[in-house]
Amino acid sequence: MTHDPDPDDVAGLIARARRGDAAARDWLFARCRDYLGFAARARVESWLRAKVDASDLVQQTLLEACRDFPRFEGVTEKEWLGWLRRILDHNAADFVRRYGKAAKRQVGREVPFGDLAGSEAGIGAPEPSAPGASPSQELLRADTERRVAAALAELPTDYQEVIVLRNVQRLPFDEVGRRMNRSRPAAQMLWMRAIQRLRAVLERHGQEG
């Protein structure tokens, strides 16, 4: 008897996809789209967005990952996301070479999305240099990268943007405000509301799980 694949069991999806299960393979790629979307947004600087849409970077990455899937040797979710992130980083570097040297100052500056929860700039931290972990940081450490990305995808666009700028790119609030056409206090307030909403979504996902 063949059971439907569990979309939350990434390791199981990998194993079934290797055996030729088309449904498992479809789920495997679908479940990482939100994660890649936020990773791509973290790598596309504001000036570059006029030339490159983050969704184009995601699409290119997924196409290459699908083509090269037989070459993927990992078995865990962490290995799978790391492999996808390396493909994404390679494609992002190609965009930088294509559109100018100015972007080279930005590529590599952002906190890897997989390190979002564990970095000093983790969700809920008041400043990048603040020591210790807030309850929301601890909450994120209990979730996988993919679940964090799925929760972020449920937030309003401005909430997503402020979290990417502040927590992933590690920009000071003055710069966050400038990029979002807000004052520093307004950017801080928006960020606090975004963090509260993200925490609520993650808690709801945990209860549903």
Query: Which tens digit of pLDDT belongs to each residue from 13-60?
Result: 999 999 999 999 999 898 888 888 888 877 776 555 556 677 888 889
Task: Answer yes or no: are the C-beta atoms of 151 and 40 closer than 8 Å.
Answer: no
Q: How far is CA 3 from CA 6, 7, 76, 131, 197, in A?
A: 9, 12, 21, 47, 35
Ramachandran area for residue 122 (φ above 0: left; ψ -120 to 50: alpha; else beta): beta
Q: How far is Cα 158 from Cα 182, in angstroms, rounded to an integer? A: 11
pTM summary value = 0.66
Q: How far is Cα 99 from Cα 204, in angstroms, rounded to an integer? A: 41
Query: Which tens digit of pLDDT belongs to each residue from 137-189?
Result: 433 343 467 778 888 889 998 998 898 888 877 889 999 999 899 999 999 99
